Chain A
Amino acid sequence: DAKTTQPPSMDCAEGRAANLPCNHSTISGNEYVYWYRQIHSQGPQYIIHGLKNNETNEMASLIITEDRKSSTLILPHATLRDTAVYYCIVRVIKLSFGAGTTVTVRA
């Protein structure tokens, strides 16, 4: 599995965009980039995934660099309910969770 690197934590102001970086320099050509989040004590929640192109859904946007070695998850207008641990994952079948980034949205 390609390994990912994320900052351990970040703060974000409510109403502002949160940009979460992820490095995955060893990603192979057929591996997708997935983002999940885990709100305290709940099951992980799927956010978005992509292969090469940038993706957007109702929750977030995913920007993948042209060389695919890194990506950024963008939460366009962070709310207090977005406080969670965010995981960047690059394997499809079994999800290998790293430590993730703990995002704290402050009022």
Chain B
Amino acid sequence: EPEVTQTPSHQVTQMGQEVILRCVPISNHLYFYWYRQILGQKVEFLVSFYNNEISEKSEIFDDQFSVERPDGSNFTLKIRSTKLEDSAMYFCASRDRIYEQYFGPGTRLTVT
């Protein structure tokens, strides 16, 4: 069964550094998403992406965040200058024209 994959599974970075989280959505999917979950808190929507542009974003998704689909298969989330409060699990999701979103296993980001 096709699945969404994410790399790395765990990323440790120092405050102020840039990080790129990578996702490979399911191959025929058209809509892509990033969510995050701070430890012990609920899953929060960050951004949705369709047709090579952002279709919706939350208040969390400020100028420090960007997304890209650089090569037609990967979907990346970049955080330009990480803060301690960016420490969280980051989940990528994708869907086709049907409405179910399929989630990846997540990347645990730890900012020290």
Residues of A within 8 A of B (CB): 32, 34, 38, 41-46, 49, 87, 92-100
Instruction: Kindly state the separation between the CA atoms of A95 and B42 in the bound complex, as whole angstroms.
Output: 11
Say whether A44 contacts B105, CB under 8 Å: no
Residues in B whose Cβ lies below 8 Å from that of A92: 99
Say whether A97 contacts B43, CB under 8 Å: yes
Residues of B within 8 A of A (CB): 4, 33, 35, 42-45, 48, 55-56, 58, 89, 91, 93, 99-106
Residues in B whose Cβ lies below 8 Å from that of A46: 100-103
Residues in A whose Cβ lies below 8 Å from that of B55: 93
Q: A94-B33, A100-B42 are in contact. Are A43 and B106 (CB under 8 A)?
A: yes
The chain A residue with its CB closest to the CB of B31 is A93
Q: A93-B48, A94-B48, A95-B35 are in contact. Are A44 and B43 (CB under 8 A)?
A: yes
Residues in B whose Cβ lies below 8 Å from that of A49: 99-100
Q: Which of B44, B56, B101, B106 lies in contact with A42, CB distance below 8 A? A: B106
Instruction: Name 24 interchain pairs, CB-CB below 8 A, sorted by A.
Output: A34-B100, A38-B43, A42-B105, A42-B106, A43-B4, A43-B91, A43-B93, A43-B105, A44-B35, A44-B93, A46-B102, A49-B99, A49-B100, A87-B43, A93-B48, A94-B56, A94-B58, A95-B33, A95-B35, A95-B45, A95-B93, A97-B43, A97-B44, A99-B42
Residues in A whose Cβ lies below 8 Å from that of B35: 44, 95, 97
Say whether B102 contacts A96, CB under 8 Å: no
Say whether B89 contacts A41, CB under 8 Å: yes
The chain A residue with its CB closest to the CB of B4 is A43
For the A-B complex with A43-B105, A46-B100, A97-B44 known, give 10 more contacts whose Cβ atoms are closer than 8 Å.
A38-B43, A43-B104, A44-B91, A46-B101, A49-B100, A95-B45, A96-B45, A97-B35, A98-B42, A99-B42
Residues in B whose Cβ lies below 8 Å from that of A97: 35, 42-44
Q: Smallest distance from the beta carbon of B43 to chain A beta carbons, Å?
A: 4
Say whether B103 contacts A43, CB under 8 Å: yes
The chain A residue with its CB closest to the CB of B35 is A95
